[in-house]
Amino acid sequence: MKLTIGNRKTHAFDLLNDGLEFEGATVTRRTGGYTDFDVIKNLMRLGWMECRQTGPRGGSRYYTTELGREQLEQLLELI
């Protein structure tokens, strides 16, 4: 999964970076193309994010794993 394209950060980068924060990343509805959930699902498949909280109405919080944190750090060293 690409976190940057031509020195521009992708939406996957933003979600992975949001997952480092205390509140974690949340899924929002988007129209057309990939949805946030599609991106997070791919990040989870790679082992870069995990779901730690599930809300009462199906809302979830996703957090960056240690492996995901390492990927971000490596990328930020290159930029």
Confidence at residue 1, expressed as pLDDT on a 0 to 100 scale? 75
Confidence at residue 11, expressed as pLDDT on a 0 to 100 scale? 86
Query: Rounded distance, CA 8 to CA 40, Å?
Result: 19
| pTM, full prediction | 0.80
- Domain span at 30: 4-78
Number of domains in the chain: 1
Confidence at residue 31, expressed as pLDDT on a 0 to 100 scale? 63
Q: Which residues of the chain have pLDDT under 50?
A: none
| Closest CA relative to residue 47, chosen from 10, 6, 16, 8 | 16
Residue 32, domain CATH = 1.10.10
Confidence at residue 3, expressed as pLDDT on a 0 to 100 scale? 86
* Longest CA span, the chain: 40
